Amino acid sequence: MTLRVSVVGASGYVGGELLRLLLWHPEVAVIQATSGRNAGRYLHQVHPNLRGRSKVQFVHPDRLEPCDLLFLALPHGEAAQAIERYAGLAPRLIDCSADFRLRDPALYARWYREEHPAPAWLARFVYGLPEVSREALRGVNYASGVGCNATATNLALLPLVQAGLVDEQRPIIVEIKVGSSEGGATSSESSHHPERAGAVRSFAPVGHRHTAEVEMLTGLTNVHLSVTSVELVRGALATAHVFANRPVTEKDLWQAYRAFAATQPFVRIVKERQGIYRYPEPKILAGSNFADLGFTLDETTGRIVSICALDNLMKGAAGSAVQCMNLMAGFGETEGLDFPGLHPI
């Protein structure tokens, strides 16, 4: 049976990626796509890559109708403010914002500096990273989004955490380089081309909110994130510096990373001896749901450098959301998500 889905907030970058994936998904029919300022326009008039694929027009959010599953691609706070309404329109929800990622209302208040508007709903949502929540997502009704920077960091750290190799007494430092699409589709002073072009701009050297997701998922409490914007549209590259809790060899690390990747259809290990793509590179993942992991070891100090590259709009947002939908609805987990990325680009 075809799953009837709608996308709320469909004119943004994540909404556009959801539409791109859903319109080509063999088990799905897109019923509605909402946008307040674009109501009445065809999808391709906002997302030109969708030209010729659909005759669906944007509708005003007030005209949203019942469906089988709703994707919420709204600015922070809006989904939580209207969660009762959305839950009344569809038995299944996937929220791509940060509203339902954290289970603890106190943790939410600490990192987002405001009280959660619907705290009773937090426990209903399963964290939407299938690499750790796969079984919990099967058949569930509510899934949260994932932070793109949190996802890059979590995937960089999880092979080491699961292998028990992390010295938790020493700081874990993660530097994340990100593309401009992380800022969303609405322009700002910082995204104005003369200000953004050529920039390598540190915009969150401390206190990034996605730290909360990393701590929640990995169980680590000594994680420190710094985020830097670079001249890239799509992509995130997390470089994590971790000290081992015992003497390790490169063979030990290969075992840890292979053990993690073996059960993950969208995780690939990139560690080559030659060539320019010896380590993960966000550029070649544009439009892909893959996350590439790499690593290296300084045996003299025990410092492990773990690297994860992904497309922030895909594995960091819409791609993981569709992967969640597949698990929730009983489809093949990789359905509609096998595009490998482009080279050259």
The total of other beta-carbon atoms located within 10 Å of residue 291's CB is 29
Please identify which of the residues 67, 96, 148, 308 carries the catalytic annotation: 148
Has 96 been annotated as catalytic?
Answer: no
DSSP 125: P
Tell how many helices (H) and how many strands (E) occur in the chain: 10, 13
Chain centroid to Cα 282, Å, comes to: 14
Chain centroid to Cα 91, Å, comes to: 23
In sequence order, what are the residues at sequence separation of 6 or more whose Cβ sits closer than 8 angstroms to the Cβ of residue 334?
Answer: 265, 266, 323, 326
Q: What are phi and psi of 228, to 5 degrees?
A: -130, 130
User: What does the longest C-alpha to C-alpha distance in the chain come to?
Assistant: 63
What's the CA dihedral at 216, 219, 225, 231 to 10 degrees? -70
Active-site residues, by number, are: 148
